[in-house]
Structure 1
Amino acid sequence: MTDSAPPFRRRPAGFLVLATAFFAVMALAVFATGFLDSWGMPLMAGLVALGLIALLLLIGATAFTVLGFRAAYRRKAAPILLRLALALAPPLLFAGLALAARPLLDAGDRLGVAARLAQDEARFAIIIARVKEEQPAASDGTRRTEDGISFLVDRGPPLRVAFHPRGILDSWTGIVFDPTRALANYVSQGARRPGARSAITPDDLSGLFGGDLVGCRHLRDDFFLCRFS
């Protein structure tokens, strides 16, 4: 290796640190995409972000793999473990990130939903109190926005409110206020035909918010993250 070569190519440890840092940044970018998606990032923006991450990851993984193999080949006198580390670290890091991509997206989404609930819970309470005092209206089944919070109302009884609905067409996700906590007992049966009722879905949950309940996750207290179709 000539002295004119970049420092990270002259020093194996520097190369390994740089490769690890690159994949760590890519992992953070995937996590951040999931986090931002939970805050209502437009679908197209999310797809573009994931596409750019995938492209950069592919380019970076290819470059580091080629450099690693070249470094391992040129250091024939180096210990075998060092040569193996130089050659195998980039592809192994790439494979690990590929396997962890979905969990990272989900983790970012979970943190984002929790952060959004913590930020908006006081405004949720104000909207819920206001809705309880209102008379049933034709707007209950349509999306409304108050105090910067979008929501849907299902009068039931009992009254339930879905905050920050987001999704595509009839498939959407929202933070649902359920004072009965009946949603905690809901177990998804997987994909169902539109309009079909699961044998274990309670009667007061069928047709909730005018759709089919696909699944729920308890957030805290009377709030759940639910998916509808």
Structure 2
Amino acid sequence: MKPFLAKAISAFACLAFAPFLIGLINAYFPGAGFLLFLIGLPTLIIALAVTTIVWSVRGVREAKNQDRKAIAAFYVLIGPVLCSLAMLVAWPSLFAGGFLGDLSRLAFNQDQYALIIAKARKAHRAEWYAEDDAGVTYSVDIGPPVRVAFEPAGMLDNWSAIIYDPTGEMLLADGFDPQTGKFRAPDSITELFGGDLVSCKRLWGDYLTCSFT
């Protein structure tokens, strides 16, 4: 039983880990990550269905050789149960990959970000898309206070970035209210950077990871 279970878990764990990799890649290469998502999502669904069928067939075969009904039921159900678990962790896995990617990117570039923030405060000028000498792209919302979005990237009106927000008020953004169909955060927050701010999560200190639409 243990070898069978170990192999089945390994097969489904690989599929459950794939969204994590997509999220991690998207944090560094948004275009490639978005393409991977478009291609990978249907591929993962097909792979999950095939893997479930394969292990369900194997489980049925093993169940026929068992005398105890409980053990036979275990073999029959292992495929569908692991499939359900893989589906449950897919979205958290995608989010975790993206969050870890943003954390590592912030750790690597924080000194450069600090220089850009100081420059933005001194210039006190709104900029939609600028690039510093080190190749870091950024946008500035003069506020007050001055906020800076680092490496803004996405598709059309949907984009995300690491945001420097000294007030932490952007954390008020928490999606839509299903009853009213409006953003939960006030307009003064959702309209920052000229877009519709959907949600923010804290990375560390005054740095957040935020999504816009």
TM-score by length of 1: 0.79
Amino acid at match of 1:49: G
Q: Residues of 2 paired with 1:199 and 1:85: CA distance? A: 45
Task: Find the counterpart in structure 1 of residue 131 from structure 2.
Answer: 145
Match among 91, 103, 110 for residue 92 of structure 2? 103
CA pair 100-71 structure 1, distance change in 2 beyond 3 A: same
Contact 2:20–2:97 (Cα < 8 Å) also in 1: yes
Amino acid at match of 2:46: L
Task: Find the counterpart in structure 1 of residue 21 from structure 2.
Answer: 32
Alignment deviations for residues 47-96 of structure 1 (CA, whole Å, 9 cap, x no partner): 212332222222111111111112212x04x3333222211111110011
Q: Report sequence identity in percent.
A: 32
SS in 1 for 2:114: helix
Q: Alpha-carbon deviation of 1:110?
A: 1.9
SS in 1 for 2:198: strand
* Gap runs ≥5 in structure 2: none
Task: Find the counterpart in structure 1 of residue 191 from structure 2.
Answer: 207
Q: Alpha-carbon deviation of 1:185?
A: 4.3
Alignment of 1:1-229 (within 5 A): 12-42=1-31, 43-73=34-64, 75-76=65-66, 78-134=67-123, 136=125, 140-141=127-128, 143-146=129-132, 147-186=134-173, 188-190=175-177, 201=186, 203=188, 205=189, 207-229=191-213
Q: Residues of 1 paired with 2:72 and 2:184: CA distance? A: 59
CA pair 200-94 structure 1, distance change in 2 beyond 3 A: closer
Contact 2:19–2:93 (Cα < 8 Å) also in 1: yes
* Gap runs ≥5 in structure 1: 1-11
Contact 2:130–2:138 (Cα < 8 Å) also in 1: yes
Aligned-pair RMSD on alpha carbons?
2.5
Contact 1:153–1:161 (Cα < 8 Å) also in 2: yes
Contact 1:190–1:214 (Cα < 8 Å) also in 2: no
Q: Which has the larger radius of gyration?
A: 1
Count of equivalent residues? 209
Contact 2:124–2:142 (Cα < 8 Å) also in 1: no
Contact 1:33–1:50 (Cα < 8 Å) also in 2: no
